[in-house]
Amino acid sequence: MHAVDVMTREVITVSPQTPVQEIVNLMLRNRISAAPVVDDAGKVVGMVSEGDLMYRAENQTNRRDSWWLTALFSARNDAADYVKSHGQRARNVMTRDVISVEEDTPLYKIAQTLEKHRIKRVPVLREGKLVGIVSRSNLLHGLSAMRADNSGAEGDLAIRDHIVTEMKDKLGIPGSMTNVVVVDGVVTLWGLVENENERQAAGVAAENAPGVKNVNNHLGIAPAVIGPY
């Protein structure tokens, strides 16, 4: 299996000019913990996560290093910290060195990348443009569904595309909160929906997709503020 088989396609993004408060509201509203920063050309130029927003002046959480840390690091770093804690735009607070993968990156390589860089998610690019995101949970969903025989990979991808489209267009279930994994015609649904009716409807949509052999519905009901990535 590859990134394209498990990635979240409906990615919530922000621009370098997006105000910090708007980013916070966006994360809470969509129950996500990070958002890629994308420029006008569609290129990923950064990532804003909960960690980037932890130390903010308005919350009186801006970091105060001890005297020995201050002695070790230059005023240049102090200035960078000031921008991070006081800046009002995504460009001020985002992490700029973004690790990314391609659609055809195998899951085991993605797992190695997350472990090596100690990160929770990676954007998925196609010709340099953002097409999805793979989080730890996406990765676990894929790994849990893997079989030794993956000869029907192309058919599985078509099934996945059909179900994702059906859930989004017919049921209004956002792809940013759910994940569909298909292996050898067996569909597994993961993530969060708003209520039991949506959970059941998503299961029916999966069961009715051409080529589906079986459906494992692990969708949960969304609590107040928690998200898939």
Domain boundary among 84, 109, 135: 135
Return the pLDDT at 139. Answer: 87
pLDDT by residue (tens digit) across 15-66?
Answer: 999 999 899 999 888 888 899 999 998 899 999 988 888 765 455 445 544 4
Query: b/e per residue, 15-47, with b = 16+ CB within 10 A?
Result: eeebebeebeebbeeebbbbbbbbeeeeebbbb
Q: Are residues 125 and 220 in the same domain?
A: no
Its domain, for residue 218, covers 147-229
For residues 54 and 61, is the Cβ–Cβ distance under 8 A? Answer: yes
Across the range 178-192, mean pLDDT stands at 90
Q: Are residues 127 and 165 in the same domain?
A: no
Q: Are residues 77 and 126 in the same domain?
A: yes
Q: Report how far residue 136's alpha carbon sits from residue 219's, in angstroms, rounded to the nearest whole number.
A: 17
Domain boundary among 135, 164, 189: 135
pLDDT by residue (tens digit) across 63-89?
Answer: 544 444 444 444 445 666 776 767 789
Statement: the pTM of the whole predicted model exceeds 0.95: no
Q: For residue 3, what is the domain's CATH number?
A: 3.10.580.10
Instruction: Flag whether 105 is in a domain.
Output: yes
Domain boundary among 135, 158, 188: 135
Q: Are residues 152 and 131 in the same domain?
A: no
pLDDT by residue (tens digit) across 99-157?
Answer: 999 999 999 899 999 989 989 999 999 988 999 999 988 888 887 766 544 555 668 88
Q: Are residues 9 and 113 in the same domain?
A: yes
Q: For residue 163, what is the domain's CATH number?
A: 3.30.1340.30
Report the number of distinct structural domains present in the chain. Answer: 2
For residues 200 and 173, is the Cβ–Cβ distance under 8 A? Answer: no
